[in-house]
Structure 1
Amino acid sequence: MAGCKVKSLLKYEKSDNTVTIHVDSSILQVQIIDHYIIHIKKVLDNSVASKIPDYVTVLSPQKTPWQVAEKNGQVIISTDSVKVIVNANGNIQYQNQKDNKLLSETKDYTYINPKNQGNKVSQSFAVGDEAIYGLV
């Protein structure tokens, strides 16, 4: 349909260096650390904040120009080096500024399973012929 506008299915808020996106029963925080470093955090809506320090992202957010926009039902967060695209079901895709896909999350084996014994989390990614190491 020509001229048909796609309404965003995602509700989001922007702060100084973070975009918080609400997807189904989870909250996705996209934090801009610098031009190349984007810190992603997914939690369930009703989860209790962790008291464990974040040892993964130790660099404080830098003064980095960035933008957030909606297009075709997606939220697109971009710096001058990378783009993070969040689609309507919460899957995340990473691209460079030339729109070359770097990495994309898939729904295969991706879940947050809250149980009394603690949250069990799994994520899967499509990366082409590369391997990703160090994700726990």
Structure 2
Amino acid sequence: MGELSDLWREHVGGRVIGLAISQNAAEVLRGEGCEHTANVAAFLTAYRTGQASLRAGDLVVVDEASMIGSGQLAEIQVLAEAAGAKILLTGDTEQLAAVGAAGPLGLLAREHGYYQLTEVQRMREPWERAHPLRCAAAT
């Protein structure tokens, strides 16, 4: 996120806004270098009340997008499109779906394609990096 945020600001000039389903996940995005973060519910509430905004050139990173309900994701899309902002959905298409109306990440990935990381990024220790890959291979 830090490198993406730096590159986006340098080449596009917009803000990078990180949204996640939980506040803890939003704080992880902040720790990885994303200056503007919030959980999805808080962001949408702030937007509706005029306390948050999007503008042309902004990048809205929706982290763990498979866990976000389709209604919330659709609302974020409408807001971003109206402002001239871009959306980047990140997450695992095999992860648990949203509690409410199913998260559409898997459908979007199948219909439109996607990029997949080939290296574990968040873990620092070699033994930590190997574990998620072993779990994925076991399924």
With the length of structure 1 as denominator, give the TM-score of the two structures.
0.29
Q: Which has the higher contact order (CA 8 A, sep 6+)?
A: 2
| Higher helix residue share | 2
